[in-house]
Amino acid sequence: MPRWRGLLLAAPALAVVAFAGGALLLAGRGSLADGLGRGWSLSAYEGFLHDPAFADSLLLSLKIATLSTTVSAALALAVVGAVSASRRGRAALETAARATLAVPHLLAASAFGLLLSGAGLVSRLTHAVGWIDGPADFPVLVADPVPSAVLLTYVWKEAPFITIMLLAAYTPAVRDLESAVRTLGVGRLRRLRHVTLPLLAPALTEACLLVFAFTFAAYEAPALLGATVPRALPVEAVELYRSVELDDRPAALALAVVIGMVIALVALAAATISRRLLRARTGS
């Protein structure tokens, strides 16, 4: 393939990266200025070092992204492994996953809020069947410091995405290798560990990177379903940027820079892991 054609095919991805990099640079410049964008100062970043709320928000965002990614990946692997031997099962799974992906995150967060709130559908149903004495006895899942509703929303949305990525990587060659080791009497868990997982690891790593980046930087679900204290980093950044105090704007942009840097570090780690997995797979 000519080099110019390869660059043309990569142009959309390069444009997205350039746009994101430019936005991050602008945010970095704004975080080093005052509320009117003048001068140079590290006061926004120095304020984070003396603000316990920043550490709480950072840990909360890392917890949400890590747990969402881990649980979604585990569910996707389990489901793909369960239906891998059936062509109809794979087709039905892909259809269901694509239908879930069509639901916007904002709509999904709103639906989970209506389902899981103290006066939501689930609490009313459990009261109707006699499992709890009243809606007030239902566990607090929405607006709780433990982001249960946020995690459930993300798992419901991101597990299908990882599933589709794994199904795309689940080529006939992978199925043939699984069939070969199955005829040798290898059990399902050993096949998953020694055959399926190593072959799907590059696709799984890329999917997990995308899920982690999105869930770490997303605003909708933590804003609708999360607690007010502590707040996830994206929620904190948006609230500071919307503040009537112009002095809060550099702090908001500094939070955006922190979010971008964390995602960049995770992307670098994922790229390193992917290269090592590819080298181990090819023996180079």
Mean pLDDT by 10 residues, the chain (284 residues): 68 79 79 72 79 89 94 91 78 89 92 88 86 82 89 95 89 76 73 76 87 92 90 91 81 88 86 74 58
Bridge partners of 144?
226
For residue 22, being part of any structural domain is answered with: no
Whole-number pLDDT of residue 280: 65
**Alpha carbon separation from 274 to 10, 197, 209, 265 (Å, rounded):** 19, 13, 11, 14
What span, in angstroms and rounded, lies between the C-alpha atoms of 80 and 22?
38
Residue 128 lies in a domain: yes
Helices (H), the chain: 3-31, 43-49, 52-83, 87-101, 105-116, 121-128, 148-169, 172-183, 188-191, 197-217, 220-225, 233-241, 249-282
Domain that holds residue 78: 42-282
- Predicted confidence at residue 268, as pLDDT, reads 85
Record the tokens describing residue 102, joined without a space: 């069509």
Q: Output Rg (C-alpha) for the chain, integer angstroms.
A: 22
**Total domains, the chain:** 1
- Dist. CA 54–CA 259, nearest whole Å: 12
Q: Is residue 16 assigned to a domain?
A: no
Would residue 9 count as lying in a domain? no
The tokens for 198 are: 């190593």
Closest CA to 80 of 215, 191, 209, 212: 191
pLDDT at 266: 86
Task: List the CATH number of the domain containing 144.
Answer: 1.10.3720.10
pLDDT at 281: 61
| Within a domain: 6 | no
Q: What is the pLDDT of residue 234?
A: 92
For residue 150, being part of any structural domain is answered with yes
Say what the pLDDT of residue 170 is.
Answer: 81
Pairwise CA distance, residues 241 & 28, whole Å: 14
In a domain, 25, yes or no: no
Inter-axis angle of helices 148-169 and 197-217, to 10 degrees? 140
Evaluate whether residue 21 is within a structural domain. Answer: no
| pTM: predicted TM-score of the whole model, two decimal places | 0.85
